[in-house]
């Protein structure tokens, strides 16, 4: 990892290769199973239909539902396996393990708040900024008649599957960042 001038690494964090399920993620899982059932209905209905456009739409809905229900977890696991997190005196960064290349970073002066979502064993996610909600906001691009849709957008700057968050929170407090803790 290439550091800026006067930048010092304060903490390196290896994510645990498991998932933390907060209430929003649990609702997304329930909706994705429902969506997959709808996708299966579309695919079976399209097989009985002679209208070819309905078959294409049904196949598209089914593939999207399959990704939402299963394949997005494979992508998340791959990211956990291949990345680690770094906190410096100037920024937070997600770095590739293989080559030390910075995947994403955010300057500390750009961070307004830090949200720590964890269980009683202090395992969870650290989100830099406002966490994504289940239904999104009124100004989201996916909105259909205001809040009519499920938001599957991942938090842009987040440290996922972090152990011992209670040891990391004092570091953010020393840097002058406000930390909101939520226990699940």
What is the full DSSP assignment across 61-87? HHHHHHIIIIIHHHHHHHHHHHEEEEE
Tell me if 179 is assigned to some domain: yes
What percent of the chain clears pLDDT 70, i.e. is strictly above it? 89
Question: How many domains does the chain fold into?
Answer: 1
For the chain, the straight-line distance linking the first and the last C-alpha, in angstroms and rounded, comes to 34
Other C-beta atoms closer than 10 Å to the C-beta of 142 total 12
**Does 70 reside within a domain?**
yes
- The pLDDT-based confidence of 172 (bands split at 50, 70, 90) is very high
Which has the closest alpha carbon to 84: 29, 15, 138? 15
- In a domain, residue 149? The reply is yes
> Looking at the domain assignment, is residue 157 inside a domain?
yes
Residue 56 within a domain: yes
| 3 domain-assigned | no
* pLDDT band at residue 143 using 50, 70 and 90 as cut-offs: very low
**Structural domain boundaries, residue 73:** 9-183
Is the pTM here over 0.75, yes or no? yes
């Amino acid at each position: 990892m290439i550091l800026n001038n006067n930048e010092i690494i304060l903490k390196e964090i290896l994510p645990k290769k498991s998932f933390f399920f907060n209430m929003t993620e649990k609702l997304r899982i329930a909706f994705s199973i429902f969506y997959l059932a709808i996708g299966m209905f579309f695919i079976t209905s399209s097989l009985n239909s002679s209208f070819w456009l309905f078959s294409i739409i049904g196949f598209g809905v089914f593939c999207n539902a399959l990704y939402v229900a299963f394949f997005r977890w494979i992508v998340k696991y791959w990211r956990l396996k291949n990345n680690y997190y770094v906190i410096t005196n100037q920024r937070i960064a997600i770095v590739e393990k293989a080559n030390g290349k910075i995947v994403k970073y955010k300057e500390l002066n750009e961070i307004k708040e830090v949200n720590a979502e964890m269980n009683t064993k202090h395992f969870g996610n650290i989100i830099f900024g406002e966490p994504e909600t289940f239904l999104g906001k009124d100004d989201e691009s996916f909105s259909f008649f205001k809040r009519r849709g499920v938001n599957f957008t991942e938090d842009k700057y987040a440290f996922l599957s972090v152990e011992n968050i209670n040891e990391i929170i004092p570091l953010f407090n020393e840097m002058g960042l406000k930390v909101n803790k939520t226990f699940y």
